[in-house]
């Protein structure tokens, strides 16, 4: 790895931060392939990692090549054969230890998330907290991988189901949750008895190396943990494509854009593997006449501008009852005007940078299309004053629309909030559901009937439907994911663990006759 070239104060601070942070997290040999603690220097093209904070170069890493991927997958197969035999509560012990190591290293890992992904410190810390939470959840789960016992129609028979480990789990992750999404998958998959191969976003490989290093610290001294229980493959989408096609990986959990999900879903389905897809959203909020506007304004601002509009659950479309629209929009504009935008490493900043220039260009092009469609844009300008040079900083935009224009069907991964007035709740729900994505939604109302309608079968068609909180910022206890183009996958809490195991139905005859099901007489 080449260290940052120091060009000025902000870069000097960053260089000191990154050096110390990487050391704390145990990253001494950045390289394309990590199998457990063994770091293999790969011979693929060099991947240059730039910080979105100020564009500075953080590291140059040789990427993994197909032979490295093969090595990692073969290792994961061998590890799985051993790990599946380890009792689930002992597997839970690994995850419990990992959670504790995350607690000890929360600040350092969050710092790296801020530096590499551009998140403000409180959000980066929240992301690491989410990892700790899922470790706690998975540890408890390791003693609760229950199957059912079913009534059988045959005398002296018993019927039951068991949940068994599935195999190596491939994890492909996006840049915007560089550590938590992996942890949702990893913690659950590990207690379920699976090994892991992780292809993180090429924009955030240092975060992945840090997670790997901390997990291996947790495994240290646990003789039950086999070699190659977890590998990290650093590199481009081509590595993800290889994983999607490889029959040795029965489950590929992929988080990212809809385009990525279509490609991965197709490749995994083609070999009749299991795709678990967590894809883009186009999330909405409905504010009704009876809503508390105090609650709504705060929730809308957090959901629409948090992580600079780069959350899968970011609020993108707001439907406001016409009778309260003027007041709500005015209050939102006041809130937006006072948002502190700038260096995410500085205390008090609420909006950090976009991930890169491409994201900025996409935002500007979406705003221009919205203007063409008759939208009135508030904010949305590029910032150069009082923000670190070299980063892509923008003022979040509110765009008042008179109809559901074409641009509103797309997920533009930036802080753009389209606002539309409505007259009946049924119409608002229809507008909300008219897009192809189906991740997160919410309603603000103090009317029980409106809330129940929104959550009913004829209400929101999304995987997440909230009342009086925004669509963003889920807890780990619930199953997370969405419908339609969002991919249909569910991760994290509730019974999402079932996707990571195989179910065996067992029927046992303890009698001396052989009665057949459905009363069939044979011979």
268 scored as a contact of ligand NAD (CB under 6 A): no
Cβ distance to ligand NAD smaller for residue 351 or 359: 359
Cβ distance to ligand NAD smaller for residue 165 or 482: 482
- Smallest separation (angstroms) from ligand NAD to the CB of 340: 25
Given 308, 312, 392, 462, the catalytic residue: 312
Write out the binding residues for ligand NAD, residues 287-316 only, by CB under 6 A: 312
Choose which of 199, 274, 321, 404 interacts with ligand NAD (CB under 6 A): 199
Q: How many CA atoms lie within 13 Å of 8's alpha carbon, on the beta-carbon side? A: 7
| Residue 317, both tokens | 């479309």
Choose which of 133, 411, 450, 485 interacts with ligand NAD (CB under 6 A): 411
172 scored as a contact of ligand NAD (CB under 6 A): yes
167 scored as a contact of ligand NAD (CB under 6 A): no
417 scored as a contact of ligand NAD (CB under 6 A): no
Over 131-188, what HEC string results?
HHHHHHHHHHHCCCCCCCEECCCCCCEEEEEEEEECCCEEEECCCCCCCHHHHHHHHH
362 scored as a contact of ligand NAD (CB under 6 A): no
What is the DSSP secondary-structure string of 77-141? Answer: HHHHHHHTTS-HHHHHHHHHHHHHHHHHTHHHHHHHHHHHH---HHHHHHHHHHHHHHHHHHHHH
Given 123, 127, 278, 450, the catalytic residue: 278
Neighbour-count burial of 155, counting CB atoms closer than 10 A to its CB (0-12 exposed, 13-18 middle, 19+ buried) = exposed
Contact segment (CB under 6 A) with ligand NAD among 60-68, 148-156, 212-220, 279-287 equals 279-287
- Smallest separation (angstroms) from ligand NAD to the CB of 291: 26
Q: Measuring CA to CA, how many Å separate 11 from each of 99, 122, 244, 506?
A: 32, 21, 39, 62
Choose which of 281, 306, 353, 388 interacts with ligand NAD (CB under 6 A): 281
- Smallest separation (angstroms) from ligand NAD to the CB of 264: 5
Rounded to 5 degrees, φ, ψ at 51 are: -80, 135
* 278 is known as an active-site residue: yes
The answer to whether 392 and 354 are in contact (CB under 8 A) is: yes
Contact segment (CB under 6 A) with ligand NAD among 30-38, 168-176, 185-193, 511-519 equals 168-176
- Please identify the residue of the shown chain whose CB is closest to the bound ligand NAD: 240
478 scored as a contact of ligand NAD (CB under 6 A): no
263 scored as a contact of ligand NAD (CB under 6 A): yes
Cβ distance to ligand NAD smaller for residue 46 or 334: 46
Q: How many Cβ atoms sit within 10 Å of the Cβ of residue 374? A: 11
Rounded to 5 degrees, φ, ψ at 213 are: -65, -40
Can you give the C-alpha Rg of the chain in angstroms? 24
Contact segment (CB under 6 A) with ligand NAD among 42-50, 172-180, 336-344, 377-385 equals 172-180
Contact segment (CB under 6 A) with ligand NAD among 274-282, 292-300, 362-370, 464-472 equals 274-282
Q: Measuring CA to CA, how many Å separate 183 from each of 73, 198, 328, 493, 507?
A: 19, 11, 38, 12, 36
Choose which of 52, 118, 168, 240 interacts with ligand NAD (CB under 6 A): 240
The answer to whether 500 and 196 are in contact (CB under 8 A) is: no
468 scored as a contact of ligand NAD (CB under 6 A): no
Q: How many CA atoms lie within 13 Å of 307's alpha carbon, on the beta-carbon side? A: 22
- Smallest separation (angstroms) from ligand NAD to the CB of 120: 17
* 211 is known as an active-site residue: no
Closest among 234, 209, 216 to 23, alpha carbons compared: 209
CA torsion 321-322-327-331 (nearest 10°) is: 50
226 scored as a contact of ligand NAD (CB under 6 A): no
Total residues contacting ligand NAD by CB under 6 A comes to: 29
Residues interacting with ligand NAD, by CB under 6 A? 172-177, 181, 199, 201-202, 237, 240-241, 244, 255-257, 260, 263-264, 278-281, 312, 411, 413, 439, 486
Active site residues: 278, 312
């Amino acid at each position: 790895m080449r260290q940052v070239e120091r060009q000025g104060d902000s870069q000097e601070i960053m260089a000191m931060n990154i050096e110390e942070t990487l050391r704390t997290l145990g990253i001494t040999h950045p390289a394309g392939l990590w199998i457990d603690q063994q770091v293999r220097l790969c011979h693929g093209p060099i991947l240059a990692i730039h910080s979105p904070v100020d564009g500075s170069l953080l590291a140059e890493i040789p990427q993994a090549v197909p032979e490295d991927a093969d090595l990692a997958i073969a290792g994961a197969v061998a590890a799985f054969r051993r790990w599946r035999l380890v009792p689930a509560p002992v597997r839970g012990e690994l995850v419990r230890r990992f959670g504790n190591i995350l607690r000890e290293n929360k600040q350092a890992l969050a710092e790296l998330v801020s530096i590499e992904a551009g998140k403000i410190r409180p959000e980066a810390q929240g992301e690491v907290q989410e990892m700790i939470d899922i470790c706690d959840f998975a540890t408890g789960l390791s003693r609760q991988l229950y199957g059912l016992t079913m009534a059988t129609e045959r005398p002296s028979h018993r019927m039951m189901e068991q949940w068994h480990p599935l195999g190596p789990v491939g994890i492909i992750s996006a840049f915007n949750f560089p550590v938590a999404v992996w942890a949702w998958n990893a913690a659950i998959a590990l207690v379920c008895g699976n090994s892991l191969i992780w292809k993180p976003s090429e924009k955030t490989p240092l975060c992945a190396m840090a997670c790997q290093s901390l997990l291996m610290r947790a495994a240290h001294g646990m003789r039950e943990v086999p070699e190659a229980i977890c590998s990290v493959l650093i590199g481009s989408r081509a590595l993800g494509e290889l994983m999607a096609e490889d029959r040795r990986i029965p489950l590929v959990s992929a988080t990212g854009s809809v385009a990525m999900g279509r490609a991965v879903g197709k490749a995994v389905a083609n070999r009749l593997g299991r795709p678990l897809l967590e894809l883009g959203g186009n999330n909405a909020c409905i504010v009704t006449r009876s809503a508390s506007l105090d609650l709504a304004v705060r929730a809308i601002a957090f959901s629409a501008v948090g992580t600079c509009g780069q959350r899968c659950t970011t609020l993108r479309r707001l439907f406001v009852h016409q009778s309260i629209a003027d007041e709500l929009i005015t209050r939102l504009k006041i809130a937006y005007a006072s948002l502190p935008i700038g260096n995410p490493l500085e205390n008090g900043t609420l909006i950090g940078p976009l991930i890169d220039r491409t994201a900025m260009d996409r935002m500007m092009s979406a705003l221009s299309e919205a203007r063409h469609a008759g939208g009135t844009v508030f904010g949305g300008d590029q910032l150069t004053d009082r923000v670190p040079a070299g980063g892509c900083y923008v003022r979040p935009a509110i765009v008042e629309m008179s109809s559901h224009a074409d641009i509103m069907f797309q997920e533009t991964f930036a802080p753009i909030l389209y606002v539309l007035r409505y007259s009946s709740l049924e119409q608002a729900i229809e507008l909300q559901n008219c897009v192809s994505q189906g991740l997160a939604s919410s309603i603000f109302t103090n009317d029980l009937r409106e809330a129940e309608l929104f959550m009913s079968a004829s209400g929101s068609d999304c995987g997440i439907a909230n009342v009086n909180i925004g669509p963003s910022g889920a807890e780990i206890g619930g199953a997370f994911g969405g419908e339609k183009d969002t991919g249909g996958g569910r991760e994290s809490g509730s019974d999402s663990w079932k996707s990571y195991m195989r179910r065996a139905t067992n029927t046992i005859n303890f009698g001396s006759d052989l009665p057949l099901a459905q009363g069939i007489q044979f011979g």
